[in-house]
Amino acid sequence: MFMKKILLGGSLFFLLPHYCLSQTEPEDTSKTLGEVVINAFGQNRQLKKSAVAINYVSKTQLERFNNTSILPALNNTPGVRMEERSPGSYRMNVRGSTLRSPFGTRNVKVYWNGIPFTDPGGNTYLNQLSYYDFNSIEIIKGPGGSLYGAGTGGVILINGQSQNWIPGVDIGYLRGSFDLSNLNVEVKLGKDDSRNIIGYTHQSSDGYRDHTNMRRDIATWQAQIKANEKEQLSASVLYGDLYYQTPGALTKTEYNNNPKAARPAAGSNPSADQAKAAIYQKTFLAGITNSYHFNESFQNTSIIYGAFSQIKNPTFRNYERRIEPHFGGRTVFEWDHHFSNTALQIIFGAEAQKGFFNTKTFANVNGNPGSILTDDDINNWIYSAFAQADLQLPHDWNITVGSSINRSSITITRLSVPAFTPVKTTYNSEWAPRLAVSKKLFANLWMYASIAKGFSPPTVAEILPSTSVISTDLQAEHGISYEAGFKSSWLQQRLYVEINAFSYQLKNAIVQRKDANNADYFANAGSTRQKGLESQAWYQLFQHPQHFISNASIRLSHTWNDFSYKNFKQGANDYSGKQLPSVAKNTVAMTFDLITKSGLYTNLTYFYSDPIALNDANSEFASSYNLFGGRIGWHFDKLSVWRLNIFFGADNLFDVKYSLGNDINAAGGRYYNAAAGRNYFVGVALNFICKNAK
């Protein structure tokens, strides 16, 4: 099967040159971190000049690993933790937000090519994007509600297209430990004013643990059409078909005896294999973007999209089947005006989403649906209106002030109960203001401070968890974040240093619980104190294109978190002052990259994490761990139309036993999901560049 796909992809190299119309220069990978221009909060400003804590992950950073996941690249940035409990099962943590995520991504708003990828129910199926659907990532840390709506954790802006247009064909293939296989074919057709990118990715793996088989097929089409000098149209279409087995968490004894094992049978609960516990997930998304420049100062970008997700989930407790059609849109107006020594930018617009979900739960009969337990129609909507002003003043002062007003509602009708009165919950209008001030103190040193309010209503999965109990008593969480930091660029842009400190007091924090049957449910946990210090430094050791070592750089990031419950009592238990579970106090990441004139290169990575509390009582901790990995390759691009990249690498070379994705507050102490031990991969990437036709 794979050989057929490889041959089919390879044939495209010879069939498509007739359609190639232009060529531009490849992306400049030597650009320093401080020179990068980011789009967060609509400001299109260099990272070092932006008054916001943001992690920028470039294509170069993504390509340092095995080309199958964005996880290691994101975890090498401060303040972010991405987890994978088993292949395909992702969780995202930005400043502690994993507290709400038994699986998936919640409390973080995600956009793909400007399209809301977070559904109106508050869930984000990040695992429906392949590694190749990410060209660059901007992670806004802390509340971004002044422009992006609900979410106290942060905002992730995913760009799926490179700014440098090179028509051609890319084919990549990788094999790795645990029968890991990854094939990608991408075809780029057109010219500067009419671009098409068609991609297909197939990934499969047996996984490190028992009962962790995974398969994912992703097809995408991205297009840009320049209608005229004022107007541009873009389209983004994605279809994803994902299957992965869920092995379940282990107790400490089971984890120590055999970390590769899946969850065994316990009491009335079957084993993972007996329950055939797995996720079957399909998603279709299509969006159209129109950008129109009324004149040099005034422009509008409007997006409409529709999406449909279908999920089947046999679990230890029941069998769940969900269908989640939804649609929405976003419009943003931007006005710019320049005075003699002052510049003013005003942004305003709105975003709205509407969902028509249905969730059915059945008895699980050996992985098949049995008698129906509940049948719920879920009607939800969320909207946001926002405005922001950005003023650049003389003497290098910059002031940004913005706010949004947000409202959401959910109505649940239990069709399986005769004469059921629909349950409706509306979360009243929430204002989410933000004020940021920055100042250039002297050459190459910028300081900034900001204050922002964040809020996040419960998601559909939290109001209607796997216990099937409708939790209308859940309240929206909200709080105020204070932040200050500095960014600097030195030694002719070869050294970039960034440090920021924040203090965030969250009220009505939503946290995950598990009942005696290991079913998820959620509760408001009073208030929390979240203080942290995040820092990163990037230093380019060498940049001499004509020397044997043409480029070498080192990068270091550190995160210090002091997260605790301020006031949280549950029954007779008082957790006030306890460390928030799921958050390590310290993490450190270090990378080293070296490129030679001949095309040989190496990427080395080190990561350390402090112990992580696994429950509110802080009676159990996951151990600290050190990870080391690397990639060695040869990049040959001397030919005019062909490029070749061959690489080999290894992860977790110390063969450390650790859990990457703990089940927090799990009943019976089932906290542990063992990550892969020492593992290897080898891959090849071929690129054909079209350059002849005009």
Q: Which band of pLDDT confidence, cut at 50, 70 and 90, is reported for residue 202?
A: very high
Q: What per-residue confidence (pLDDT) applies to 102?
A: 57
Contact 69, 92 (CB under 8 A): no
Q: Is position 583 within any domain?
A: yes
d(CA 102, CA 282): 20
Q: Is 355 exposed, middle or buried (0-12, 13-18, 19+ CB in 10 A)?
A: buried
Inside any domain, residue 406: yes
Q: For residue 594, name the pLDDT band (cuts at 50, 70, 90).
A: very high
Residue 694 covered by a domain:
no
> Could you read off the pLDDT of 520-574 as tens digits, one per residue?
777 777 788 999 999 999 999 988 888 889 999 999 999 999 999 888 877 788 8
- Check: CB of residue 109 under 8 Å from CB of residue 143: no
Q: Which residues contact 57 (CB under 8 A, 6 or more apart)?
A: 70, 73, 74, 77, 134, 136, 137, 138, 139
Which stretch of 79-88, 187-196, 460-469 has the lowest confidence by average pLDDT? Answer: 460-469
Mean pLDDT of 125-147: 93
Q: Give the range among 62-66, 316-320, 470-474, 612-616 with minimum mean pLDDT.
A: 470-474
> Can you point out the beta strands (E) in 177-314?
180-191, 194-205, 214-226, 231-245, 278-293, 298-314
SS3 654: coil
**Could you report the per-residue pLDDT of 220-259, keeping only the tens digit for each?**
999 999 989 899 999 999 999 999 999 999 999 999 999 9
pLDDT exceeds cutoff 90 at 123? no
Pick from 43-52, 64-73, 347-356: least confident: 43-52
Host domain of residue 271 = 2-689
Confidence of residue 360 (pLDDT cuts 50, 70, 90): very high
CA-based diameter of the chain, in Å?
A: 79
Instruction: Give percent above pLDDT 90 in the chain.
Output: 65
Q: Which amino acid is at 617?
A: A
What is the residue-averaged pLDDT of the chain? Answer: 89
Residue with tokens 């009969």: 365
Where residue 514 falls among pLDDT bands split at 50, 70, 90? low
pLDDT recorded at residue 25:
39
pLDDT in tens, 669-689: 999 999 999 999 999 999 988
Beta bridge partners of 435: 401, 451
CATH of the domain at 135: 2.40.170.20
Number of domains in the chain: 1
Which band of pLDDT confidence, cut at 50, 70 and 90, is reported for residue 428? confident
Q: Flag whether 506 is in a domain.
A: yes
Structural domain contains residue 480: yes
- pLDDT over 60 (residue 12): no
Distance CA 107, CA 124 (A): 9
In this structure, are residues 166 and 689 in contact, taking their beta carbons and an 8 Å threshold? yes
Chain-centroid distance, C-alpha 472: 28
Model pTM score: 0.92
